A = this chain, B = another copy of it.
Amino acid sequence: MIRVFIVDDHPVVIEGIHSLLKKEKNIEWAGQAMNAQSCLGFFVNNTADVILMDISMPGMDGVELCAVIKVKYPGIMVLGLSTFNQGLYIKKMMENGASGYILKNSSKEELLEAIHTVSEGGIFFSGEAGQALQEYQKSSINDLPALTSREKEILELIAQGYTNPQIAEKIFLSSFTVDSHRKNLLAKLNVKNTASLIRLAVEQKLI
């Protein structure tokens, strides 16, 4: 018996999912909430196995709520729920510990499959959400100027915290040369200092 709780600020959605699930015999309706506060209130004295959680809600949104829930009650599985399908939100939910993401217009079968999968510790994405996530991941890895191997090597060492003189000593170059490569990195990647260089490099997985 899987106890399912739902948080959504739209009564229609709660009602719709409730009517979809109430006939299922291995699913129990644990409760419902229309915002993050009352959801957290519920879990002080109650529990559930799976929370269906709307991404966008007034006040604390699903991304934050998910993070709080997973810290306080790691055993409760969170399944993101939304009408729209944006890679960024999906990614943030997952980083905050969600176990999957489905669209509100999913079929009953998909919803049930998702609930079962996540209640067993698995991860579930509806086809469309999966594609959106992959598109998003792809979009951030493009349009970067090609770096030479030397530049990549020096970028890596900068990211490890070495200064120009230290890098020079390490790879047997003049520190002038290291500085030249460093300036080329800033110019090529169109950033103005080390901070934004490293941020870009890590985010774009150059290192």
Complex CA gap A163/B163 in Å reads: 18
Cβ of A19 to closest chain B Cβ, rounded Å: 26
Complex CA gap A126/B161 in Å reads: 38
Question: Counting CB contacts under 8 A, is A191 at the interface?
Answer: yes
Instruction: Kindly list chain B residues whose C-beta atoms are within 8 Å of the C-beta of A199.
Output: 159-161, 198, 202, 207
Category for how many chain A residues contact B: 35 or more
Cβ of A91 to closest chain B Cβ, rounded Å: 11
Cβ of A171 to closest chain B Cβ, rounded Å: 16
Q: Is B131 a contact partner of A127 (Cβ separation < 8 A)?
A: no
> Contact mask A178-207 → B, CB, 8 Å, 1/0?
000000000000011111111100110101
Q: Given A161-B195, A198-B195, is A128 in contact with B121 using a C-beta cutoff of 8 Å?
A: yes
Question: Counting CB contacts under 8 A, is A87 at the interface?
Answer: no
Question: Counting CB contacts under 8 A, is A138 at the interface?
Answer: yes
> Contact mask A67-106 → B, CB, 8 Å, 1/0?
0000000000000000000000000000101010000000
Q: Is A99 a contact partner of B198 (Cβ separation < 8 A)?
A: no
Q: Is A202 a contact partner of B203 (Cβ separation < 8 A)?
A: yes
